[in-house]
């Protein structure tokens, strides 16, 4: 009887290589999930504008419902995943209060801006402000640009400035300022969030804490004559919070590891375009020449900054 050779402790069986069919399926799944996430980001602008354009809900009620429903959805998602994986690990240490504050400022300013601003214009101002904020932070921290990146950076600022100049197609100055503030806040939130080791858990925590200042504003709004809400307004806000925000962020974080940093940043250039096309089809918004040209300048400039790559 021949004794089999015992396996050593250091023997590791490598996992089987995926078949071409499995690889193709994984790529298709990543592409579809990425598209869903990008559409969810655009959906926030569409849902908010649809709710506020005709007075279905006031801005403070929309903000509170969005943050609260997002917090509930993310909490349920985390609990479900833990139950499936039998994960008993404790939550990571919460990010500084600044993250929740930045999330609240973004959500509140975003809602108030969309009272008098079209979805497409708002998405471009928001997205451009986010990227300019993060790029400026990188420069302040010592990152160096090559000539093409400086050109792209100045193009993005110039395109936004041209869009906001007084004119027939310019958004109201107050709304533009609020959306710019929302973009700066979201840029700050993104910068602060880079230190999160478990981003979905951190996002859930930030949503939960951001509800607190939103509640204060809601109570103030309810004490005035400006607060109002309808069934349609509630539905828009819950869809924005639970689906476009909660589910959208969760899907995005799930596909991010499969995408390179430059690819992920470049893909987000499509969000204002998706928003503009959907706003024309769903909200009957006009697509002005100024918006088209400004979008091309801003997104082209950001594309130069992202695509060339940063040098030390």
- Residue 94 forms part of a structural domain: yes
- Residue 2 forms part of a structural domain: no
- Residue 8 forms part of a structural domain: no
Q: For 3-14, what is each residue's pLDDT tens digit?
A: 555 555 555 566
Tell which residue, 42, 35, 36, 104, has the closest CA to residue 67. Answer: 104
- Residue 17 forms part of a structural domain: no
Long-range contacts of 135-142 (CB under 8 A, 24+ apart): 135/305, 137/187, 137/191, 138/310
Higher pLDDT, 93 or 257: 257
- Residue 198 forms part of a structural domain: yes
What would the mean pLDDT of 20-38 be, rounded to a whole number? 81
Higher pLDDT, 153 or 47: 47
Range of the structural domain that residue 93 is part of: 32-308
What's residue 87's pLDDT? 55
- Residue 1 forms part of a structural domain: no
Report the alpha-carbon distance of residue 202 to residue 154 in Å, rounded.
33
Distances (CA, A) of 296 to 101, 147, 150, 158, 177: 32, 20, 17, 11, 21
| Res 312 pLDDT > 50 | no
| Domain count along the chain | 1
Q: For 48-61, what is each residue's pLDDT tens digit?
A: 999 998 889 999 99
Tell which residue, 149, 153, 152, has the closest CA to residue 132. Answer: 153
Report the alpha-carbon distance of residue 145 to residue 124 in Å, rounded.
24
């Amino acid at each position: 009887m021949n004794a089999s050779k015992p396996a050593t402790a250091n023997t590791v069986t490598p996992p089987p290589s995926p078949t071409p069919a499995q690889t193709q399926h994984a790529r298709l799944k990543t592409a579809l999930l990425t598209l869903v996430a990008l559409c969810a980001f655009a959906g926030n602008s569409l849902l908010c504008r649809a709710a506020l354009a005709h007075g279905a809900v006031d801005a403070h009620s929309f903000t509170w419902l969005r943050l609260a429903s997002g917090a509930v959805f993310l909490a349920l998602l985390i609990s479900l995943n833990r139950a499936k994986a039998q994960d008993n690990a404790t939550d990571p240490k919460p990010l500084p209060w600044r993250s929740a504050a930045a999330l609240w400022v973004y959500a509140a300013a975003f809602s108030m801006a969309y009272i008098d601003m079209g979805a497409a214009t708002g998405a471009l101002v928001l997205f451009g402000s986010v990227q300019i904020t993060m790029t400026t932070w990188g420069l302040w921290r010592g990152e160096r640009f090559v000539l093409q990146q400086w050109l792209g950076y100045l193009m993005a600022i110039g395109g936004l400035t041209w869009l906001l100049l007084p004119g027939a197609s310019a958004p109201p100055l107050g709304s533009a300022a609020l959306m710019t503030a929302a973009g700066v806040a979201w840029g700050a939130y993104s910068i602060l969030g880079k230190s999160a080791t478990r981003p979905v858990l951190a996002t859930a925590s930030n949503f939960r804490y951001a509800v607190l200042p939103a509640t204060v504003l809601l109570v103030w709004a309810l004490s005035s004559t400006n607060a109002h809400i309808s069934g349609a307004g509630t539905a828009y806000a819950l869809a924005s919070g639970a689906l476009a925000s909660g589910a959208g962020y969760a899907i995005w974080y799930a596909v991010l590891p499969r995408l390179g940093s430059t690819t992920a940043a470049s893909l987000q250039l499509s969000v204002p375009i998706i928003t503009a096309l959907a706003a024309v089809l769903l909200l009957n918004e006009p697509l002005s020449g100024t918006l088209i040209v400004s979008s091309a300048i801003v997104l082209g400039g950001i594309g130069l900054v992202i695509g060339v790559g940063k040098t030390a």
